[in-house]
């Protein structure tokens, strides 16, 4: 039997609620299949630990995760801890420590879920956003001088390297090539940002020559928001910088019905280190503990994890079960339903058991 070592980091807010649901679905899939299983270790890292000990994870936290096949992550962030501390204390050290440079965010309108876009339904919006995940605007470069004085300065320096841009561009072209439309949109802001962004455009043109069967076009990020809303059918695979894709993918999630259905994978394509799978959403303080967090984003990211582990059949089975349950109207309130997290999870597990 194939056994996968999974590190679960549920962390904060609704993180533990949705990760528990995701693990329940993974167990149902393993039982149904019989050919693989999971050895799950849960880590109690996050804001509660920070409040008690001063750090979100132990000093050797990243080292501890090294031997796992994949990381299954909830969300980090608490109302009484500044967001830059939680993000830089847990999620970013893992992404950057394991050089998970490709952040992959599929978006589709699932059956039964309504897009806020009029007349747009399943099939009209089927995108994968590839986000550069190791540098750019989130490289952490910058600083503050004259702190607290009237002349205080803060700098936030975006770092774009030829190696970093080339590898994400190759990843995006390859992903576009694997999809039926073989079409990539490269997003920049190379009119106003005339150094790093112009280099993006140049490298996109260079890498495109390695993929003659992939067609591609370019968009400025501001115009891209308009195209996503007005012509969702005109897009397929999208590549953008860390910041731009962060923003565009929240918009994509909302256009597909809710942030509660949007998944993400932080991938080390070279497989030197474990990759990390998480819903896009945060800890959602407003609904924490109410039992109504939408688990679909976490199921979808579990399917991405299965794909990455080589269990493509199980990944497909999970998505078919999720789509069936959504089509049946068993949905949480964020997508217009009345079901609880538990009811959606039980229905998905039931559909997995019943699937051929």
Interface with ligand NAI by CB under 6 A: which range of 135-143, 154-162, 279-287, 346-354?
Answer: 279-287
Question: Do the Cβ atoms of 49 and 15 come closer than 8 Å?
Answer: no
Options 75-83, 209-217, 221-229, 319-327: segment touching ligand NAI (CB under 6 A): 75-83
Residue 57 touches which of ligand NAI, Mg ion, none (Cβ within 5-8 Å per kind): none
CA 73 remoteness from chain centre:
10
What is the spatial distance between Cα 153 and Cα 12, in angstroms, rounded to a whole number?
33
For residues 191 and 181, give the distance between their C-alpha atoms in angstroms, rounded to a whole number. 28
Whether residue 100 contacts residue 266, with contact meaning beta carbons closer than 8 Å, is answered with yes
Tell me which of 249, 294, 301, 340 binds ligand NAI, using CB under 6 A: 294
The entry of Mg ion, ligand NAI, none near residue 324 (CB within 5 to 8 angstroms by kind) is none
Q: Under rule CB under 6 A, which residues in 141-180 are in contact with ligand NAI?
A: none
- Interface with ligand NAI in residues 230-259 (CB under 6 A): 259
User: Which residues contact residue 12 at a Cβ distance below 8 angstroms, ignoring those fewer than 6 apart?
Assistant: 46, 47, 48, 74, 75, 76, 77, 78, 86, 283
Binding mask 206-245 for Mg ion (x = CB under 5 A): ----------------------------------------
**Partner interacting with residue 246 (select from ligand NAI, Mg ion, none; CB below 5-8 Å by kind):** Mg ion
Neighbour tally for 129: CB within 10 Å: 29
Nearer to ligand NAI, 242 or 332 (CB): 332
One character per residue 100-139, x = contact with ligand NAI (rule: CB under 6 A)? ----------------------------------------
Q: Which is nearer to Mg ion, 135 or 246 (CB)?
A: 246
| Pair of tokens at residue 20 | 């528990």
Cβ pair 72, 37 in contact under 8 A: no
* Contact in structure between 19 and 74 (CB atoms under 8 Å): yes
Q: Residue 193's Cα: distance from chain center in Å? A: 26
Q: Specify the DSSP class assigned to residue 282.
A: -
281 binds ligand NAI per the rule CB under 6 A: yes
Backbone angles phi, psi at 292, to 5 degrees: -120, 15
What residues numbered 295-314 form the site for ligand NAI, per CB under 6 A? 297
Q: How far apart are CA 317 and CA 336, in angstroms?
A: 25
Residue 246 lies near Mg ion (rule: CB under 5 A) = yes
Binding of ligand NAI at residue 263 (CB under 6 A)? no
Contacts with Mg ion by CB under 5 A lie at 246
Binding site for ligand NAI (CB under 6 A): 14, 18, 75-77, 83, 91, 259-260, 278, 281-287, 293-294, 297, 332, 334
């Amino acid at each position: 039997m194939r056994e996968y070592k999974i590190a679960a980091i549920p962390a904060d807010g609704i993180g533990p609620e949705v990760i528990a649901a995701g693990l329940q679905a993974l167990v149902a899939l393993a039982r149904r299949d019989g050919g693989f299983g999971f050895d799950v270790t849960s880590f109690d890292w996050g804001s509660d630990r920070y409040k008690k000990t001063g750090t979100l994870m132990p000093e050797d936290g990243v080292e501890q995760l090294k031997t796992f096949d994949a990381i299954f992550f909830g969300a980090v962030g608490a109302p009484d801890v500044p967001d830059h501390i939680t993000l830089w204390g847990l999620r970013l050290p893992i992404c950057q420590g394991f050089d998970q440079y490709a952040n992959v965010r599929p978006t589709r309108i699932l059956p039964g879920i309504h897009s806020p876009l009029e007349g747009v339904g399943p099939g009209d919006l089927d995108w994968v956003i590839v986000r550069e995940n190791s540098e750019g605007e989130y490289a952490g470069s910058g600083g503050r001088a004259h702190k607290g004085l009237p002349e205080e300065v803060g700098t936030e320096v975006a770092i774009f390297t030829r190696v970093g841009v080339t590898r994400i561009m190759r990843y995006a072209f390859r992903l576009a090539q694997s999809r039926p439309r073989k079409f990539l949109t490269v997003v920049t802001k190379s009119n106003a940002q005339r150094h790093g962004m112009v280099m993006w455009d140049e490298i996109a043109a260079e890498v495109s020559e390695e993929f003659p069967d992939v067609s591609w076009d370019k968009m400025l990020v501001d115009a891209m928001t308009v195209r996503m809303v007005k012509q969702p059918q005109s897009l397929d695979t999208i590549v953008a910088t860390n910041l731009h894709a962060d923003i565009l993918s929240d918009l994509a999630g909302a256009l597909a019905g809710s942030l509660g259905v949007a998944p993400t994978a932080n991938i080390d394509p070279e497989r030197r280190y474990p990759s990390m799978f998480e819903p896009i959403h945060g800890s959602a303080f407003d609904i924490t503990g109410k039992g109504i967090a939408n688990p679909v984003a976490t199921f979808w990211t579990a399917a991405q994890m299965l794909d990455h582990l080589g269990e493509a059949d199980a990944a497909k089975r999970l998505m078919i079960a999720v789509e069936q349950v959504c089509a049946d109207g068993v949905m949480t309130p964020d997508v217009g339903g009345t079901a609880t997290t538990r009811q959606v999870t039980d229905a998905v597990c039931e559909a997995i058991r019943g699937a051929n």
